[in-house]
Structure 1
Amino acid sequence: MKKSLLTIILLYAVYGLVLYFYLFFWTGYELPKGIEGTAADPKTFLTAEELQLSENYSQLKNLVFFISIPLEWIIFFIVLSFGISKTFQQWAETASRFFIVQTALYYFWLSLLVTLLTLPVSWLNYKLSKDFQISTQTLNSWLKDEVTDFLVNYVLMAVVVTFLYIIIRKFEKRWWLWAWFASIPFTLFIMFIQPVIIDPLYNDFYPLKNKKLEEEILQLASKADIPAEHVYEVDMSTKTNALNAYVTGIGSNSRIVLWDTTLNKLSEDEILFIMAHEMGHYVMKHIYIGIAGYLLLSLAGLYIIHRLMIFCTNRWGKRLNIQSIRELSSLPLFLLLLGMLSFASSPISGIVSRYQEKQADLYAIEMTKNEEAAVKTFQHLAKFSRSEINPPKIVKFLRYDHPPLIERIMYIENIKNKE
């Protein structure tokens, strides 16, 4: 096992070096031919210093992102192979004879350990955002959000893990199917309560203060047959200089939300374009399509995890200190496989998401008839959020759920040229 761990660490080091050279030396940020001097050329809306900062920030953020992904997998492997998971299970069983309590205690120790070991990566992301003037958040505020994250995730996941292992113990051969059935109402419930319970734990939400702007947005909503009564703004300026807006929730709890940074830094026409974009997601039912796609992928994923857990337990159970998948100590193996499969499926979800974002852009242009505002919006996103203009192909393929800004500007410019 020590030899296996040493091999994994060496492979991880090689992976990090290859990644570093790829991001910093083997890929350039050259622009496609034919866009020099156009609205898509970053030199027309960014200073040389801003462009350099955007490139440096993107390189470092991408490096941290890709390095952090296998780090959690390695942690789960160590927790299994060195008997840490087995020890946590023994502590939980000693503390209580009730399985629900055992699960809550076991998962607390596991989640605390993983959180502490990955905290340096979270801090590095925060430090990068601070150094590149994206984050305005104080260290105390950041730590408060980290603690809130831990508690919220712990409570939700403790419930999930408890039900998961109750199902595994009751339906060992078909647990993946019953777990999938149970995940459907739980997913919908989380989506429903997120805007009104979870999100307000981090920030204050309130109806848009600018009533004239709200009236114009609601007029757009009326044209799109969206039964909206309020547009919400959230006080993100205490944490970031970045711009954002989004649609969240389902049913009667659906919300269109604007960051106050967006309100402070964009013109009214640009804000109306963003709102029309978010309405496009609502009209085209992208949230529901996303939920359906997630559920279909999760069904296939749970079945694959079931087969792989059986295989790993039969072949390496002794090395991993797992006698059966019914044991709580097998949870790190489940999470390890889940993380790998989630990463493997990210290109598929990314392609779907980028397509939906493009459709929402086109819907917003059709709704507002203002291509100029659309172009300016994307240029401001690059300026204030240090968004990557033209990412390397592998980065786009594995990480991007929105089309790169250069693509978004280019297809809007093509629309303008056809008119």
Structure 2
Amino acid sequence: MKRWTARLVIGMLLYGVVIGLYFTFGNLYEPSPQYAGTAADPSTFLAPEQIRKGESLSRIHSLAYFIMTPLQVVVLLLLLGFGVGLRTRLERLTRFSLLRIGGFVLVFLAVTGALFLPLDYAMLQIDRAYGLSTTTTATFFADLGKDLAIEWVSTTFIVVILLWLMRRSPKRWWLWLSIVAIPISVFLTFVQPVVLDPLYHTFQPLRKEPLRTEILELAAKADIPANQVFEVNMSERTNAVNAYVNGIGSNARIVLWDTTLNKLKDDEILTIMAHEMGHYKEKHIYWQVAVGIIVTFFSLWAAYRLYEWLLRKAAPLVGIRQGGKGQDLAALPVLLIAVSLVGIVLTPAQNVFSRFLEQRADAYAMQMTGDGDAAIRAFQKIARDNLSPIKQPLLVTLFRGTHPSIQDRILYFSQFEK
């Protein structure tokens, strides 16, 4: 066991060195030379210091992502023994399975959250130093508390269903869980705008009346059942700009960040909102739910196979029970490891799908407004205020690229310049 742990730690350290060198050295963000002097050339709309800051912060964020993603798996592996001890203590404390499950999930979430807290707080301080984040320490910890509460309730609910399915169908639980996930996913999509989002942010009707009227006119053309546009107080957390349309049916909401209202002109905001409405008009939410169901099916199948293999390897080493009437609570981290590894492998394909939807929404925005000039100005300001490089290296595009690059989007919008 000690030898296995040592190899794991050494492997993670070597990986960290390689990733650190990749993101520290090399010109990863050089603009395409053929676009020099065009609207897609950052030197035409950003000062050299702004370009440097955006690239520097992107290197830090990408390095953090590529370190923390596998590190989470490594931490779960190292905590397998802790999980066995926690399960044993809970069995001594109570005979009620629901209390055991709730206690196990709560303690495990709290411990893993505490282990990554220094890294999360360090990233907050970095974003503050670069002028991107305005989140106070009090807000940071309040959000962590809300996250923990929501994760605890939702994870405990899923684990209760999972363990019941494992007992009823030891070889097909992954199939039944993927079916159960369908109504849960639709329900969460429906309630998020009116239940979950207000836990973190304050929403109010858009006060800028002429803009509100124009946005609602666009919404009517897109058949969005909304009679109100909301602004949200994101300036309490960030200097970045954004907008979105989320929810389904009667809970659909059109939302503008107050930072967007303060930093973009009305015609620029309209192109952004037309893009977001394109997601709704083309039913991208339903596409995402449908693809999510398919991905969940194959992910759980693959995770089940990997879980069975990992469990056979890990159980004798740390004392996880196999067989018997029910699934050992201490085996849950093993399943989480399997799901995480499958998720990492599938991320590039999911990002390709996400970029496709974003391209479709951009096309819809131009169909609605035809204002390429405003769209170009909007994304130039997004690059400035969000400290976003106009291009990203291939590795980042594969694993973090949910949207087309700003360079590609500006080039697309340039076809519609008036």
In the alignment, what sits opposite 2:233?
235
Q: Is 2:404 aligned against 1:394? A: no
Aligned counterpart in structure 2 of residue 143 of structure 1, from 136, 141, 144: 141
CA distance in 2, matches of 1:93, 1:5: 27
Counterpart pick for 2:277 among 276, 279, 290: 279
Aligned: 1:370 with 2:366: no
- Residues 1:254 and 2:255 are matched in the alignment: no
In 2: Cα distance, 1:7 partner to 1:382 partner: 42
1:133 aligns with: 131
Q: Distance in 1 between matches of 2:314 and 2:222?
A: 57
1:147 deviates by: 1.3
| Helix, strand or coil at the partner of 1:29 | coil
The answer to whether the aligner puts 1:56 opposite 2:41 as a matched pair is: no
1:258-269 to structure 2, matched below 5 A, reads: 258-269=256-267
In structure 1, the residue matched to 2:352 is: 351
Deviations 1:180-202 (A, max 9, x none): 11111111111111111111111
User: Which residue does 1:291 correspond to in 2?
Assistant: 289
Residue correspondence of structure 1 range 42-81 to structure 2 within 5 A: 42-80=42-80
Which residue of 1 is the match for residue 210 of structure 2? 212
Kindly provide the CA deviation profile for residues 367-407 of structure 1, in whole angstroms up to 9, marking residues without a partner as x.
Answer: 11110000001001010010121111111111110111111
Task: Tell me what 1:194 maps to.
Answer: 192
Alpha carbons 1:76, 1:336 under 8 Å: kept: yes
Partner of 2:20: 20
Tell me which amino acid in the other structure corresponds to 2:110: L
Counterpart in the other structure of 1:102:
100
Pairwise CA distance, 1:114: 0.5
Q: CA RMSD in A?
A: 1.3
CA distance in structure 1 between the aligned counterparts of 2:188 and 2:221, rounded to whole angstroms: 30
What does residue 170 of structure 2 align with?
A: 172
Partner of 2:407: 406
Q: Over residues 62-115 of structure 1, what are the superposed CA-to-partner deviations in whole Å (9 max), with x where a residue is unaligned?
A: 1111111011101110111xx211111112222221211110011111111110
Q: Secondary structure at the match of 1:34?
A: helix
What amino acid does structure 2 have at the position aligned with 1:381?
I
Give the match for residue 159 of structure 1: 157
- Asked whether the equivalents of residues 366 and 416 of structure 2 are also in contact (C-alpha less than 8 Å), the reply is no
CA distance in 2, matches of 1:61, 1:11: 22
* CA displacement 1:168-226 (0-9 Å, x = unmatched): 12211111111111111111111111111111111101221112211111111112222
For the residues of structure 2 that align with 1:320 and 1:91, how far apart are their CA atoms?
15
Structure 1 CA distance, aligned partners of 2:160 and 2:338? Answer: 18
CA displacement at 1:273 relative to structure 2: 0.5
1:26 aligned counterpart, secondary structure: coil
Which amino acid in 1 is paired with 2:364? Answer: Y
> Please, which runs of 5 or more residues in structure 2 have no aligned partner?
none
Query: 2:241–2:386: 8 Å Cα contact kept in structure 1?
Result: yes
SS at match of 2:201: coil
* Residue ranges of structure 1 left out of the alignment (5+ in a row): none
Deviation digits for residues 212-257 of structure 1 (CA, Å, limit 9, x no counterpart): 2111111111122222211111001111100011122222212121
CA distance in 2, matches of 1:414, 1:337: 45
Once the two structures are superposed, the pairs formed by residues 319-334 of structure 1 within 5 Å of their partners are: 319-324=317-322, 326-334=327-335
1:99-144 C-alpha deviation (Å, 9 max, x unpaired): 1111001111111111001111211221111010001111111111
Distance 2:28 2:83 in 1: 44
Task: Give the alignment partner of residue 222 of structure 2, picking from 221, 224, 231.
Answer: 224
The separation in 2 between residues aligned to 1:401 and 1:28, in whole angstroms, is 18
Q: Is the 8 A contact 1:313 1:323 kept in 2?
A: no
1:324 Cα deviation from its structure 2 partner: 2.3
The alpha-carbon distance between structure 1 residues 63 and 225, as it changes in their structure 2 partners (threshold 3 A), is same
Moved more, 212-221 or 223-232: 223-232
Aligned-partner Cα distance in 2 for 1:365–1:301: 36
SS of structure 2 residue aligned to 1:40: coil
Tell me the distance in 1 between the aligned counterparts of 2:247 and 2:337.
Answer: 29
Q: Which residue of 2 aligns with 1:112?
A: 110
Measured after TM superposition, the shift of residue 415 of structure 1 is 4.5
Letter in 2 for 1:232: F
Asked if the contact 2:225–2:250 (Cα under 8 Å) also holds between the matched residues in 1, the reply is: no
| Residues in 1 aligned to 2:192 and 2:119: alpha-carbon distance in whole angstroms | 26
Taking the aligned partners of 1:389 and 1:23, their CA distance within structure 2 comes to: 17
Q: 2:375 is paired with a residue of what secondary structure?
A: helix
Asked if the contact 2:373/2:416 (under 8 Å) is kept, the reply is no
Alpha-carbon contact 2:29-2:391 (below 8 Å) kept: yes
Contact 2:370 2:416 in 1 (8 A): no
Alignment partners' CA distance in 2, 1:130 and 1:412: 32
The letter of the residue matching 1:13 is L
SS of 2:55 mapped into structure 1: helix
Structure 1 outlier segments of 4+, above 3 Å = none
Give aligned-pair identity as a percent: 37
